[in-house]
Amino acid sequence: MKKEQIKLDIFTERPIVRNDTTSELDVVIEIRSNQSIDELDTKKALNLCLVIDRSGSMSGEKLETAKKSCIDIFKQLGEKDLLTVVVFDDEAEVIVNPQVPKAEVIKKINQINDRGSTNLSLGWYLGLLELQTYMTQYNLPYQ
């Protein structure tokens, strides 16, 4: 039996959601892999978009942790990998995309500051649009 390669955990803010009306639910998705770098299929590049909440509730340590995590991820990316960073509060904005020179990425991430309210759906939507914009021959599924 093949050893588990990827583990996905979803954590909800509360254990129960109403099924008789529309409601919102915040979730955290944790993805872990026990696959070594040597085992990776290097034929496909990664097209990654990180969406960061920069609303007022993220001020201080929470936002600093998110920025540090983005920088750590950026440093692990390969030459052909694509990175987009979208931030949102009551608006959404692209901070980094594949056209930004790699030498400027860390500076741009470090300039993220908290502000405004939270419009999570707008942030996720802009992130999805950015992923679709930067699809290449390297990160398309095998034909």
pTM: 0.68
Contact indicator for 48, 121 with CB cutoff of 8 Å? no
* Number of domains making up the chain: 1
By residue range, what is the domain housing residue 102?
Answer: 43-133
State the CB neighbour count (10 A cutoff) for residue 131. 16
- The answer to the question of residue 31 being in a domain is no
Q: Is residue 32 part of a domain?
A: no
> Residue 96 is part of a domain; what is its CATH number?
3.40.50.410
8 Å CB contact between 57 and 120 = no
The helix (H) or strand (E) run that includes residue 53 is: strand 47-53
Angstrom distance (rounded) from CA 10 to CA 30: 6
Classify residue 108: in a domain, yes or no: yes
Could you read off the pLDDT of 4-59 as tens digits, one per residue? 677 888 888 777 777 888 877 777 888 887 766 665 555 677 889 999 999 999 99
